[in-house]
Amino acid sequence: MSETLTVNLAERSYPINFGADVAPAVRAAVAGLVAEGRKVAVVTDRNFARAQRDALHAMFGEQPVLVLEPGEETKSLVDLGRVWDFLAEHRVDRGGALFAAGGGVIGDLAGFAAASYLRGIAFYQVPTTLLSMVDSSVGGKTGINLKAGKNLVGAFHQPRGVFIGTRLLETLPPREFAAGMAEIIKTGLLGDAALFEQLAKAPLTVASPELGAVIRRCCELKARVVEADEHETAKEGGRALLNLGHTFGHAIEQVTGYGVYLHGEAVAIGLAAAARLSQKLGYIGASDVARIDAVLAAHALPTRLRESLPLGRLMAAMARDKKVRAGALRFVVLKSLGDAATAGGVDPVLAEASFQDVGAV
């Protein structure tokens, strides 16, 4: 691997390995575990298994692989049970390790399975989408969705290692790449103004020579936030800042049944809504909102709902968000481009108006 970055969490610290081709490093990690007599199992999704069959074999050889359907609907109780049964079938014990080779759905699901199977086994992240590389594979948040809302069941369970290889993105569909860009834009908005300016000057693509460096910058910012507030307990700011745009976005996903918008697409609309809420609160101006919309659009991301959704259902979904405290929602708002803060006590009328600005009725 060309370089590593350590997430410093005392005895739960782990490396993030960066490079073009992660197969040799993953294979070495697997071989090391097997040499110690530890069982290894792999969870992936059908899209990756088809598009990167050779890479999958190069990384894991003949280790048992469970292939699940792609899509947010897989983050369910049913598929969680399938992963548990898979681990039990292959007699993975407490010394075993589960590798999650896929996007955010696979990482969240497999991570939660690892956190709960035998009350916790080791797991490793091999993110295969841009979104999972820059966001969900780092930080130890795992979980599944319920009908009532997104990620309402889960656990903090840090991986033992993360392997990020940009070559795995070569077969990623353009829509999925764009979805990952929503999280990169979010990162720039919440804590890296220079990154946002870079994206505003020239859209990032899978062929951009700076892609690897941008992925590392996002991981580094997230690692520092996680180190300071691993379990999202800070009263203000902290890890909650990483949810910029997500309070609106998760509501969109829940109301549409997780199948209409990719997570990054819903987050993009959420960023547009959060920008408008920040403007209504007097923090940023109309020109800033327009710049955010322009950067999102330049990366093939939506800034409005494709079809109108009922405002009442969106607000009800938002009220079930994980960030609700004492019955009150907390929003992440922009003090400026590159500087975010948590805000409680926001008038619901302003949140409703911000949803209406992006197409709710």
Which residues are tagged catalytic?
119, 141, 183, 222, 236, 239, 243, 246, 250, 263
- Can you list the alpha helix ranges (DSSP code H) found in the chain? 23-35, 46-51, 53-60, 77-89, 104-116, 130-131, 174-191, 193-201, 211-228, 246-255, 263-280, 286-298, 311-319, 348-357
DSSP 74: G
Lookup: tokens for 56: 């999958």
Amino acid at 282: G
Residue 273 phi, psi dihedral angles, 5° rounding: -70, -40
- C-alpha radius of gyration, the chain, whole number: 20
Closest by alpha carbon to 131, among 255, 229, 249, 234? 249
Cα 335 to chain center, whole Å? 23
Query: 316 Cβ partners below 8 Å, 6+ apart?
Result: none
